[in-house]
């Protein structure tokens, strides 16, 4: 069976290599300009909470909203002193997908604004969702689904997730469409998600090779202008489908990303290092306290219990750390192997990479997040 697995792996290696050489689809690295999502936001009230809502004394906007809602329903509470804690003011957000027709349902996210402790069991009342232009494009309402919880006792508490944030699956209904007639466009512009001149030119070349010369032209680092041939203009959607399925090999810049907080290092395949010598080591002093208790002998009348200090100090001067030479690495694997051969951790590797960049030996862009 082991021989079968080895043989299968050897047979699959050429297939995997050919799949990588084929590149990626254009639809995975570029977007059609105009075909985009739109952000929606609204302000609403959540009711039905079990005493975990906003305290009206600390959240005056909740009290004003509650009174305004009741007044629209014919209940006059202007002179009343409301003290309910079953209501919470929330912000409701949603994403309107492109070409969403009236009646289409979208998911919404609900987040508490005041000092509500938990939104579990609450119901969102009708909330208009507006776009950046101030127009209402959807309306949200429904039962909240909270993924987190919090339980507090006299001596301890347990929490999981964020109980003041919830979602409503298909809780929003689209009321207004965004007009965009894709079929009437004479030209279509593709926008790269990772701007790069080489990648833009490669995309244009692939389109011209497959669909005819003069079909595509790279404009800048992100834009590729595509003009459908005369026979394809009557069915632009089918033509764009052909373009999206074409494969291209994106170009990758030599770049090193460093996250100082988590110690994560990401290096591109084109990262190179000039010949350089590196020594890594530091002075480490360890102080260990192990106090001992000295007891008097049995039946002693004048003896007392004493604590005798015991201190052990060790010094590590890093004498086992040696000077290492990193030759120019033709591949990312050799670069990583060369750094790992020094026996250093991620934190020290971050410092070394920054020092290499300062010395001019790191032939890549260094970005610290």
CATH of the domain at 231: 3.30.70
Q: Is 116 within a domain? A: yes
Cβ-in-10-Å burial (0-12, 13-18, 19+) of 334 comes to middle
Q: Are residues 267 and 318 in the same domain?
A: yes
pLDDT band of residue 273 (cuts 50, 70, 90) is: confident
pLDDT tens string 222-233: 999 999 988 888
> By percentage, how much of the chain surpasses pLDDT 90?
41
Per the listing, tokens 């200090």 go with 309
Q: Are residues 197 and 126 in the same domain?
A: no
Quick check: 355 pLDDT over 70? yes
The region of weakest confidence among 19-33, 198-212, 336-350 is: 336-350
Per the listing, tokens 């302000």 go with 43
Q: Are residues 239 and 324 in the same domain?
A: no
Q: Are residues 105 and 201 in the same domain?
A: no
Q: Is 47 within a domain? A: yes
pLDDT tens string 73-99: 888 887 778 888 999 999 999 999 999
Q: Are residues 194 and 145 in the same domain?
A: no
How many C-beta atoms surround the C-beta of residue 108 within 10 A?
Answer: 28
Q: Are residues 84 and 212 in the same domain?
A: no
Q: Are residues 120 and 195 in the same domain?
A: no
Q: Are residues 216 and 271 in the same domain?
A: no
Q: Is this structure's pTM higher than 0.85?
A: no
Of 65 and 289, which is predicted with more confidence? 65
Q: Are residues 64 and 140 in the same domain?
A: yes
Q: Is 12 within a domain? A: no
Last residue of a domain, one of 112, 141, 174: 174
User: Three-state SS across the chain?
Assistant: CHHHHHHHHHHHHHHHHHHHHCCEEHHHCEEECCCCCEEEEEEEEEECCCCCCCCCCCCHHHHHHHHHHHHHCCCCCCCCCCCCCCCEEEEEEEEECCCCCCCCEEEEEEEECCCCCCCCCCEEEEEEEECCCCCEEEEEEEECEECCEEEECCCCEEEECCCCEEEEEEEEEECCCCCCCHHHCCCEEEEECCCCHHHHHHHHHHHHHHHCCCCEEECCCCEEEECCCHHHHHHHHHHHHHHHHCEECCCCCCEEEEECCCCEEEECCCCEECCEEEECCCCEEEEEECCEEECCCCCCCCCCCEEECCEEEEEECCCCCCEEEECCCCCHHHHHHHHHCCCCCHHHHHHHHHHHHHHCCEECEEEEC
pLDDT at position 292:
75
Q: Is 29 within a domain? A: no
Q: Is 7 within a domain? A: no
Q: Are residues 204 and 138 in the same domain?
A: no
Mean pLDDT of 145-157: 73
Q: Are residues 51 and 92 in the same domain?
A: yes
Q: Is 91 within a domain? A: yes
pLDDT at position 183:
80
What average pLDDT is seen over the chain? 81
pLDDT band of residue 351 (cuts 50, 70, 90) is: confident
pLDDT band of residue 330 (cuts 50, 70, 90) is: very low
Q: Are residues 100 and 218 in the same domain?
A: no
pLDDT at position 191:
94
- Report how far residue 235's alpha carbon sits from residue 258's, in angstroms, rounded to the nearest whole number: 46
Quick check: 167 pLDDT over 70? yes
**Domains identified in the chain, total number:** 3
Q: Is 235 within a domain? A: yes
Q: Is 280 within a domain? A: yes
pLDDT tens string 95-124: 999 999 999 999 999 999 999 999 999 999
pLDDT at position 281:
61
Domain that holds residue 91: 38-149+158-174
pLDDT at position 123:
96
Structural tokens at position 323: 């000077």
């Amino acid at each position: 069976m082991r021989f079968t697995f080895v043989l299968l792996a050897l047979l699959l290696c050429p297939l995997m290599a050919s799949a990588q050489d084929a590149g990626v689809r254009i639809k995975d690295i570029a977007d059609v300009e105009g075909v985009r999502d739109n952000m929606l936001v609204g302000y609403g009230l959540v009711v039905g909470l079990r005493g975990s809502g906003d305290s009206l004394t600390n959240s005056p906007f909740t009290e004003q909203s509650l009174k305004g809602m009741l007044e629209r329903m014919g209940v006059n509470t202007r002179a009343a002193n409301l003290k309910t804690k079953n209501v919470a003011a929330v912000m409701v957000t949603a994403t309107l997908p492109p070409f969403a027709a009236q009646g289409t349902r979208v998911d919404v996210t609900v987040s508490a604004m005041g000092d509500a402790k938990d939104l579990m069991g609450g119901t969102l009342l009708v909330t208009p969702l507006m776009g950046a232009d101030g127009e209402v494009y959807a309306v949200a309402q429904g039962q909240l689904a909270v993924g987190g919880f919090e339980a507090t006792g006299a001596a301890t508490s347990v929490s999981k997730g964020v109980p003041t944030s919830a979602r409503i699956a298909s809780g929003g209904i689209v009321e207004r469409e965004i007009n965009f007639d894709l079929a009437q466009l004479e030209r279509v512009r593709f926008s790269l998600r990772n701007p790069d001149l080489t990648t833009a030119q490669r995309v244009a070349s692939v389109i011209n090779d497959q669909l005819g010369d003069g079909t595509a032209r790279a404009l800048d680092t992100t834009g590729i202008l595509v003009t459908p041939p005369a026979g394809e203009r009557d069915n632009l959607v089918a033509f764009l489908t052909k373009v999206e399925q074409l494969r291209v090999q994106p170009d990758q810049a030599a770049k090193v990303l460093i996250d100082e907080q988590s110690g994560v290092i990401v290096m591109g395949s084109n990262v190179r290092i000039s010949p350089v010598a590196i020594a890594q080591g530091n002075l480490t002093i360890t102080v260990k306290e192990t106090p001992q208790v000295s007891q008097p002998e049995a039946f002693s009348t004048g003896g007392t219990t004493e604590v005798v200090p015991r201190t052990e100090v060790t010094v590590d001067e890093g004498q086992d750390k040696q000077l290492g030479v990193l030759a120019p690495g033709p591949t990312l694997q050799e670069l990583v192997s060369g750094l790992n051969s020094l026996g250093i951790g991620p934190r020290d590797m971050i410092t070394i990479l920054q020092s290499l960049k300062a010395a001019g030996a790191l032939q890549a862009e260094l970005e610290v997040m």
